[in-house]
Chains A and B, each alone.
Chain A
Amino acid sequence: MMNRRNFLKIGVSALAFGIAGSGKALATEDFAGNPDRLGMLSDTTRCIGCRRCEAACNKANNLPPPKKSFEDTSVFEEKRRPYVADVQSYTAVNRYTVDGKTVYRKVQCMHCDEPACVSACPVAAMKKSKEGPVVWDEKLCIGCRYCIVACPFYVPAFDYSSAFDPRIQKCFMCYKRISEGLVPACAEACPVEAITFGKRSDLIKTAKLRVWGEPDKYIDHVFGEEEAGGTGWLYISGVPFSELDFPMDVGTTSYPKLTKDFLSMVNITLVSWPALLGGFYLMHHKAHNEKSDKEGDKQ
């Protein structure tokens, strides 16, 4: 039975809960980011579709050999996502024909500044590393696949064919190579410097210099500068991005913001419900008691 003392007890513990919970709201605070974080720049006007980046990526990450060799251009008949069917690769180059022009676009994880996948992960297995790459910790992952649901670029992939060690697969920007001071394998392999590796802030300048230097050649937009709150992988292009299957609906808000309001409601709810409900309970309970008292008097 609820008496006043119990009621107070509930109130106090709810308050404690609310305060403990406010740590949660802090964790979703605005992103400052490491100003020196690394990124990549893809210039689709330079890419010649040789697929050497794919081959280098496959080798650097010890992935299984592909069904069709990396020289085979018949793969361009399809628009591939890096993962189609099961995990084959971390990246794929696709061919587009826009106004008679042939354009190639490399697809891989965008290494968002404030990644949807990171804010989705219930065990913090996905992380935005200080250096810039978005990395994954296989020792923590529980395989819930919320990261796949959340990623606006349809990137992370799951090993559905493994019962005991299903891994989340995506480009990690050669995190290991970077820590050893090397350049990511794809950037190193590219024969025409269509992929540039460096500090994100420098890459944005490089991108803009190229676009402004040849305004007729480029569309005046750096994809990834603002998209989804900013991404680590940037693109510049000579044809509209929408023609190259870039998701144009991602907007510029960072994804964690989409759930922030809801998460900050948590504390309010935890504190206000017990108070409200306790009040309701006492109200009808008191009314009830008074009634039975009166009835008692009559007898």
Chain B
Amino acid sequence: MNEFAGEYTEKHIYQEKEQTGSEIITYWIRDKLFMGLTFKEYFKSLITPLNVVAGLIVLAGAYLIAMRFLFRLSEVTESSNEQPWGLFLSWGLFIGVPFSASGFVIGTAVYIFGLKKYQPIVKNAILLGFLGYLFAVIFLMIDLGRPWRIYYPMIISFGTASIMFLVAWHVSLYLSVQLLEFSPSALAWLGARKLRKVAVGMTLMLTVFGVMLSTLHQAALSGMFLLAPGKLHPLWYTSYLPWLAFISAIGAAIALMIVVTKLSQVFLRERADEHYLSNLDNITLGLGKAASFVLFTYVGLRLISVTHESAWKYINTPFGHWFLVEITILGILPFLFYYGVQKKNVGIVQVSAALTMVGIIMNRLNISLIAFNWQLPNRELFYWKEFVVVIAVVTIEIIVYRWVVNRMPVLRQHPDYIGDEH
């Protein structure tokens, strides 16, 4: 037992006695799953108003998802032949994946460029990335016409000329890479020392592999729309789409890390250690500087691309005005970040990061939903049921995230492994 001591030792009341097999199992379960509480205590601790609300949302979502699988996609979505991809993919894939670049961005900074300063948030970044991809696949499963064939592009039949084929391969490979990248934290939790050592040893290789996969599929995600000139509004369609997607994914990941870092400071304080908490302001400022640079590049390239496609003539149309809203938000951000960093004002950097998330969500929503098939009249963007499903799945994602962070050393170092972090 002592091997897993950590912070819950005080709960092990019967430590001295010889343990029977069933006791060992009970303790293990208590220690690992119920955070050191008995089942009853643990169950009681779960009943909080917030959890009840979350439970209700998940129930509603689960009901709708069941409807979709038992009856039809049109039961819960506004997808149609005029709008083949709806909110599930817009949110889960086109928005979810760029934000999940967090693992690869922070991982590269720490493990390849040796920016040790970001070490405290790297495990969190990888966990968020992993979950983002996992739930992107879950959204995809809900949306696919024949989800039971999801592995077909991997084994059964290869559409090698398809960008989606590329995305399918890369997302599945990268999901495995991220699972391995996160495994040291999980193995520390399980106390599998030897295995963990092996996993830590793979870090660099996995990071390099992750960069290869990420660059390509982040770019490829928007690249899928290269096939749809004329269908995607000219203010969004450009041959630069892949590169814009890649750069903005880095921006998205940095913004997400700044925001989550702030949230963890408020809501997950007791799961974090000094090493994590004391470094956050410094880290936030560093990330803010990077974000300023990345977004500046992004907005510049974006404006060039509009000129390149000679799309400025659409600026005085409803879509043009909508474009202006998006580009204005994204356009002021580099300066806002810069200002925040100059003034060493963590708050401004955090607000800018939240705004970046809004801007990039808007951008992806526009590309995949709002400005797509813009020439067709009367498109419904989404059905309220779709929205409920999205909220429910996101709620599950947050619950899973909390479950992991509550147990595994993500925001803290495991007492037994300090200095062994690579």
Contacts and interface: CB of A to CB of B under 8 A. Distances in A.
A247 interface: yes
Contact of B146 (A122, A141, A270, A280): A141
Given A28-B161, A149-B231, A255-B227, A158 B81 contact: yes
Contact of A23 (B111, B160, B208): B160
A203 B156 CA distance: 38
Given A124-B159, A263-B161, A163 B152 contact: no
A278 B205 CA distance: 9
Nearest to B203: A1
A14 B147 CA distance: 32
Interface in A184-213: none
A33 interface: no
A145 B146 contact: no
A215 B146 CA distance: 51
Contacts of A163: 68-73
A26 B221 CA distance: 22
Contacts of A256: 161
A123 B113 contact: no
Interface in B176-230: 201, 204-205, 207-208, 211-212, 215-216, 219-220, 223-230
A52 interface: no
Interface in A113-154: 116, 118-125, 140-146, 148-150, 152, 154
B391 interface: no
B22 interface: no
Contacts of B322: none
A263 B169 CA distance: 14
A150 B230 CA distance: 10
Given A141-B146, A149-B231, A122 B215 contact: no
Contacts of B156: 123, 140
A281 interface: yes
A262 B220 contact: yes
A141 B164 contact: no
B145 interface: yes
A281 B108 CA distance: 10
Interface in A156-196: 156-163, 166
B79 interface: yes
A156 to B, nearest CB: 8
A27 interface: yes
Contacts of B150: 142
Give the interface centre of A159, A163, A273 by most chain B CB atoms within 10 Å: A163
A119 B145 contact: no
Interface in B67-100: 68-74, 77, 79-82, 84-85
A129 B22 CA distance: 65
B230 A247 contact: yes
Contact of B113 (A273, A278, A280): A280
Interface string B101-116: 0000000100111100
A150 B216 contact: no
A277 interface: yes
Interface of A: 1-2, 6, 10, 14, 23-24, 27-28, 81, 83-86, 116, 118-125, 140-146, 148-150, 152, 154, 156-163, 166, 247, 249-251, 255-256, 258-259, 261-263, 266, 269-270, 273-274, 277-278, 280-281, 284-285, 288
20 contacts: A119-B227, A120-B227, A122-B159, A123-B153, A123-B158, A123-B159, A124-B157, A140-B156, A141-B145, A143-B145, A143-B149, A144-B164, A152-B229, A152-B230, A163-B69, A166-B73, A266-B216, A273-B211, A273-B212, A284-B113
